[in-house]
Amino acid sequence: MTAGPGALILVPNTLDFGTAPGPIESLLPLGVLRRAAAITHWAVEDAKSARAFLKRVDAVAPLAAPLQAQQIRELPRPRKGAPGAAIPGAELDALLAPARDGHELGLLSEAGLPAVADPGAVLVAAAHASALRVEVLAGASSITLALAASGLNGQRFAFEGYLPQEADARARRVRELEARSRRETQTQVAIETPYRNAALRTALVDILQPATRLAIACGLTLPGGGCRTDTIDGWRRRPGEMPPGLPAIFMWLAG
């Protein structure tokens, strides 16, 4: 860890992206909001949503610089299907320039904790490679919140990310992951774009074995959000409804 004031600061965002936002002080610690308010240089997933976040912060902890004076730059987007490492190093170096110049550089995602299931991880790796100090502030990760609420194995789990969209490929992958879950007593975790949540739930209920436990967490930290865990047999007998448009986490543990 290097000395000096320059650092990459991982600033958590709320999990209510794309919904009617509630009071930010009920979702993030006051200390985090004050640290965020003091930062004036940012690397973000999306500039528009970053400004909306900072506007909410300002209502609780006044920003050190007016919103229009904040130095906000977006993370470069890798080609579709390419790993984050495909982003040119020169672009990452340019984003890290404020930290090398002694500033605190905030890293912000659209929702949740930066660099966890998030493109910001490549910038964190570049910061370490440049011997810059990296600090992470306390905040919610939808993946760990969902796992905690599920009652499935939180000692051994694997995050798969997005499953294949093509039906046959998705079915093969789900069966592979279920076999791994059974073999290693490992909870499998996946996500999906909200408008495809219902389709993924239907696929999982159709493909997984009756004794496998499936947990679906929707809209965590939001009004009406929560988590249901049941066997696949239980899901088939009582399918329930998927709240439309809410982010969801899917988890299963083979019986």
The residues spanned by each domain of the chain are: 7-136, 142-253
Pairing relation of β-strands 133-136 and 7-11? parallel
Q: Which fold has domain 7-136?
A: Cobalt-precorrin-4 Transmethylase; domain 1 (3.40.1010)
pLDDT > 90 in the chain, percent: 77
Distance set, CA 88 to CA 44, 72, 85, 91 (Å): 17, 19, 8, 6
Per-residue pLDDT tens over the stretch 142-170: 999 999 999 999 999 999 999 999 999 99
Could you tell me the pTM of the whole model? 0.85
Task: Give the pLDDT of residue 3.
Answer: 47
Angle at which helices 197-207 and 167-184 cross, to 10°: 60
What secondary structure does DSSP assign to 62-108, as a single string?
--SS-GGG-EEEEPPPPPTT--GGGS-HHHHHHHHHHHHTT-EEEEE
pLDDT at 83: 47
What is the pLDDT, as a whole number, of residue 23?
87
Instruction: Note the pLDDT of residue 45.
Output: 93
Low-confidence ranges of the chain (pLDDT < 50): 1-3, 80-84
What's the pLDDT at 16?
A: 85
Give the amino acid at 188: Q
pLDDT of residue 4: 56
What is the spatial distance between Cα 17 and Cα 133, in angstroms, rounded to a whole number?
28
Q: Which CATH number fits domain 142-253: 3.40.50.970, 3.40.630.30, 3.30.950.10, 3.40.50.20?
A: 3.30.950.10
